[in-house]
Amino acid sequence: MTVEKNSQRILSYTRDVMAGYPREQRFTLAMLQDIQKKYKYIPRESLEQLSDHLGVPLSKLYSIATFYKALSLQPKGDHVIRVCDGTACHIRSSMVIVDELAKILMIKPGETTSDGKFSLETVNCLGSCAMAPAMVIDETYYGKVTPSRTREILNEYGGVDCE
């Protein structure tokens, strides 16, 4: 797919998203979430288009897009792994889980594997302290995770072939 074609598609998808909401500033975040869900990031084209549509300066949208952890300006992997590093998980060695995942995936938290399959992130609390250490992949929660289980879990998502 050429870059231009891709860009056309992004613009047309963004138009569809915008059409689904009243043309009001308070729906900005909802629109951005839809775009994030579709592309795993907020393309610049979308942000500019939204700025025109809502009459909000681009700087304000950029501010929102950089503020929320759920939004990202760089493409995320097909599956987003969020390991909880909140207090409860931290004292139950969440960092060991992060290190193990980082070793298997060969990326650091905040990065995406070169095949675009996984992104690794740490978050401050998943609200699942009872099952610490916890992590969530896309929308599935995993509790009482051990380093030895991580590879198994990754296999549910097609595993890692970049080894």
Q: Which residues bind other proteins (CB under 8 A)?
A: 44, 47, 57-63, 66-67
d(CA 61, CA 81): 26
162 is in an annotated binding site: no
Q: Give the phi and the psi of residue 70 in degrees, each rounded to 5.
A: -75, -15
> Looking at beta carbons only, is 58 or 162 nearer to other proteins?
58
> Looking at beta carbons only, is 63 or 87 nearer to other proteins?
63
Give least dist CB 23 to other proteins, A. 18
Which stretches of 25-112 are assigned E, i.e. beta strand? Answer: 79-84
> Looking at beta carbons only, is 45 or 78 nearer to other proteins?
45
Give least dist CB 64 to other proteins, A. 9
Give least dist CB 110 to other proteins, A. 12
Q: Give the phi and the psi of residue 83 in degrees, each rounded to 5.
A: -100, 130
Give least dist CB 46 to other proteins, A. 13
Sheet with 118-123, edge to edge strand ranges: 118-123, 79-84, 135-137, 140-142
Instruction: Give the contacts of 138 (CB within 8 A, at least 6 positions apart).
Output: 79, 80
Neighbours of 4 (CB within 10 A): 8
Neighbours of 121 (CB within 10 A): 19
Structure-block tokens of residue 83 = 């390991």
> Looking at beta carbons only, is 63 or 146 nearer to other proteins?
63
Q: Which residues are annotated as a binding site for [2Fe-2S] cluster?
A: 84, 89, 125, 129
Q: Which residues are annotated as a binding site?
A: 84, 89, 125, 129
